[in-house]
Amino acid sequence: MSLKKQTIKASQSKFSRRAVCMALMSGTTLLQTGCLGLASNLMHAVGMDMIPPEYEGFEDQTVAVITISDSSSYTRDQKSAELSTYLGKILAKEIKGIKVVRNDKISHWRDTNGWDSLDFAEIGAGVEANKVIGIELGNFSLRDGPTLYCGTSDVTVTVIDVATGEADFSKSLEEYRYPTMAGQHTSETTESRFRKLYLQTLAEEIGRSFHPYDMSDRVAADSRIASS
87 and 186 both lie in a single domain = yes
197 and 150 both lie in a single domain = yes
86 and 9 both lie in a single domain = no
Residue 80, pLDDT above cutoff 80: yes
Decide if 183 is inside a domain. yes
pLDDT for residue 132: 98
pLDDT for residue 162: 98
DSSP assignment of 163-202, as one string? TT--EEEEEEEEEEEESSS--EETTSS-HHHHHHHHHHHH
pLDDT for residue 53: 96
- Round to whole Å and give the CA distance between 113 and 92: 27
158 and 208 both lie in a single domain = yes
pLDDT above 90 coverage of the chain, percent:
63
- Round to whole Å and give the CA distance between 93 and 115: 29
Decide if 44 is inside a domain. no
Strand 148-161 and strand 131-143: the pairing is: antiparallel
- Write out the residue range of the structural domain in which residue 14 sits: 1-30
Please list, in sequence order, all residues whose beta carbon lies within 8 angstroms of the beta carbon of residue 209, skipping any fewer than 6 positions away: 53, 54, 55, 157, 169, 171
Decide if 36 is inside a domain. no
Decide if 90 is inside a domain. yes
Confidence of residue 77 (pLDDT cuts 50, 70, 90): confident
Decide if 41 is inside a domain. no
- What is the domain count for the chain? 2
7 and 97 both lie in a single domain = no
Please list, in sequence order, all residues whose beta carbon lies within 8 angstroms of the beta carbon of residue 30, skipping any fewer than 6 positions away: none
Residue 216, pLDDT above cutoff 90: no
pLDDT for residue 48: 57
Is residue 225 within a helix (H) or strand (E), and if so which, with residue range? none
Burial zone of 71 (CB within 10 Å; 0-12 exposed, 13-18 middle, 19+ buried): middle
144 and 198 both lie in a single domain = yes
Confidence of residue 49 (pLDDT cuts 50, 70, 90): confident
112-123 average pLDDT score = 85
pTM: 0.76
Decide if 153 is inside a domain. yes
22 and 74 both lie in a single domain = no
